[in-house]
């Protein structure tokens, strides 16, 4: 009897894990199986911690996403390129409040930016001029919503 209960519990747990992993894949994804041999991304990081107790995020090898409620925080993904590369991005931001979305280099030079006060979905390209370390940043002020960003090397 204990073995049967254990098997049922394991099957139930496996179903929960599968649902969670599948839930991380965004239904609006453009680049589901992107090959990015010259890009390494890590994150999500916070400049001064996070003040939103409802903040949640997840990341993959070519995407990042977060949900937040009344957040005033700077979050970022570390984005490293191994050579000069052009990258296509797909962004989907749902928003109430203010977010500055930007991509910067190590010297804090801005390669791309958007100041947002409402929902925005877009595709855009950014040229990364050198191998190096960059940051993809979201600077929020009293913002509620979510962001999803994915990328594919050109």
Domains of the chain and CATH, by start:
37-153 (2.60.120.260)
Please give the pLDDT value at position 32.
Answer: 65
**Contact indicator for 84, 154 with CB cutoff of 8 Å:** no
The confidence score (pLDDT) of residue 52 equals: 62
Res 34: pLDDT: 72
Looking at residue 25, its pLDDT comes to 42
Confidence at residue 21, expressed as pLDDT on a 0 to 100 scale: 35
pLDDT at position 132, please? 96
| pLDDT averages per 10-residue partition of the chain, 154 residues | 51 37 47 79 86 80 91 93 95 94 96 94 95 95 92 92
How far does the chain reach from its first CA to its final CA, in angstroms?
57
Report the pLDDT value the prediction gives residue 37, as an integer from 0 to 100. Answer: 87
pLDDT of residue 55: 86
pLDDT of residue 27: 47
């Amino acid at each position: 009897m204990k073995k049967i209960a254990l098997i049922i519990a394991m099957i139930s747990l496996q179903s929960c894990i599968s649902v969670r992993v599948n839930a991380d894949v965004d239904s609006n994804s453009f680049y589901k199986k992107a090959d990015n041999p010259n890009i390494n991304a890590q994150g999500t990081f916070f400049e001064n911690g996070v003040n939103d107790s409802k903040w949640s995020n997840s990341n993959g090898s070519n995407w990042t996403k977060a949900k937040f409620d009344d957040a005033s925080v700077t979050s970022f993904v570390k984005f490293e390129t191994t050579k000069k590369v052009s990258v296509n991005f797909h962004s989907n931001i749902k928003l109430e409040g203010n977010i500055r979305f930007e991509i910067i280099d190590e010297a804090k030079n801005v390669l791309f930016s958007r100041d947002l006060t409402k929902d925005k979905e877009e595709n855009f390209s950014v040229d990364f001029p050198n191998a190096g370390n960059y940051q993809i940043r979201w600077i929020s002020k009293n913002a509620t919503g979510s962001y999803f960003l994915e990328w594919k090397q050109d």
